[in-house]
Amino acid sequence: MVIARVLLALLLLTSIASAQGLEVEFSPFGDPEGKVLAELAQARATVDVAQYNIRSQRIFDALSAARARGVRVRIVVDAKNAAKPWNTLDDAFEAAGFDILRYTNTG
């Protein structure tokens, strides 16, 4: 879970009008999930997520709320990891109508 939070904090790209630059959060000393949730709450145009896996219901809810207010949300996850039985949120995103790509690294 810690690695997922760090990766999400590092790889989450949002289009926010007031953004001044890139910030990095590290766990366990920081609160990367809290930072991501705060940024998602401010998103107004697009959110592009590149994530090894997404297993946080709070992130799912925040991305759902962003989309409900008209933010375009696109998600890329690792296909091999997404196929594991404990990684179910990619399926939930797809069922909810999100743009999601399960990427397979061929290199």
- pLDDT tens per residue across span 15-70: 333 355 666 676 777 788 898 999 999 999 999 998 888 889 999 999 999 999 99
> Model-level pTM?
0.75
* Order of strands, sheet of 99-103, starting from the edge strand that comes earlier in the sequence: 13-14, 46-51, 72-78, 99-103
Q: What is the reported pLDDT for 54?
A: 85
pLDDT greater at residue 79 or residue 9 = 79
User: In this structure, are residues 47 and 71 in contact, taking their beta carbons and an 8 Å threshold?
Assistant: yes
The tally of CA atoms less than 13 A away on the side-chain side of residue 105 is 7
User: Closest Cα partner for 49 from 74, 68, 82, 21?
Assistant: 74
